[in-house]
Amino acid sequence: MRLWGANLSVASGLRLGMLALMLGLSACASLPEGHQADARDPWERYNRAMFSFNTEVDDAVLRPVAKGYRDVVPEPLRDAISNFIGNLSDMITTIHHLLQGEAGKAGNAAARVFINSTVGILGLGDPASSVGYGKTKEDFGQTFGRWGAGPGPYFVIPLLGPSTVRDTAGTAFDFAADPFNLVFQVGSATEMGFQITRLVDRRASLLDGESTLDALSFDRYVSVRDAYLARRNQQISNGDVPAQSQDPVNGDSPK
């Protein structure tokens, strides 16, 4: 009981600290000259401040580590790590396709898991792609969207980056449903090591596209926000309609 109370106190302290950080960032943030409000982004002062904070952390830690990972770890080993992580995500994608009523896509994702877990040796290889089972990726934010939940306001998550209110809730469910967390205790050395490896692998995959974004961006914050919202719109619609701005609450296209 004493340990439980201590853990609760620590969790409460972390939540209060995060709330204080968010309020502080909102109070000190400024908007650029000539700024035009976007209805999808009512919390822009906070979001810009958190975007700057995340960028500083990325510049100081994540990008250098990702570059070192790409430079030091041989490409075949990096590919094997990416494939293993991707095989775990295919398990969750199978469930999401079923939740979205997409039986054919669920079968495709399940076939990927079976082939890559066997022929691909526990997912270290990706023979499923070479025999016609293309990869798809689904998450709870997409499933909630397919069920009719609007995106809600744009929201930059501390350290994790661009999101919306709907996708932020989805991220929490994604973490709870992570197959790795179901096998290994959350907070254990093994689980933390895997999460760090997954983060570095994902960050390394984004290195090549950074220069293009920076070269084309007059306002990097706006470019990242608009690209994220357009991409999520396409993912949730499965490409059935062109990407476009959405109503921040209901997800409806503007009139």
The per-residue pLDDT for range 5-34, each reduced to its tens digit, is 444 444 444 455 555 555 555 555 678 777
pLDDT at 6: 41
Read off the tokens for 163.
Answer: 């999101």
Mean pLDDT of 155-176: 95
Q: pLDDT band at 114, cuts 50/70/90?
A: very high
**Is there a contact between 195 and 184 (Cβ–Cβ < 8 Å)?**
no
Query: For 232-248, what is each residue's pLDDT tens digit?
Result: 999 998 766 544 444 44
CA distance 67 to 76: 16
From 38, 85, 77, 44, select the one nearest 198 (Cα to Cα). 85
| Owner of token pair 């004493």 | 2
CA 93 to chain CA centroid, nearest Å: 14
The answer, yes or no, to whether residue 229 has pLDDT greater than 60, is: yes
The pLDDT of 128-148, averaged and rounded, is 96
The pLDDT value given to residue 185: 79
3-state secondary structure of 237: helix
Residue 117 scores a pLDDT above 50: yes
Question: Residue 157 has what pLDDT?
Answer: 95
- pLDDT at 26 (0 to 100): 52
pTM of the model as a whole: 0.80
What pLDDT does 80 receive?
97
Read off the pLDDT band of 209 (50, 70, 90). confident
Most confident of the ranges 182-191, 196-205, 213-222: 196-205
- For the purposes of burial, counting CB atoms within 10 Å of the CB of 211, is it exposed (0-12), middle (13-18) or buried (19 or more)? exposed
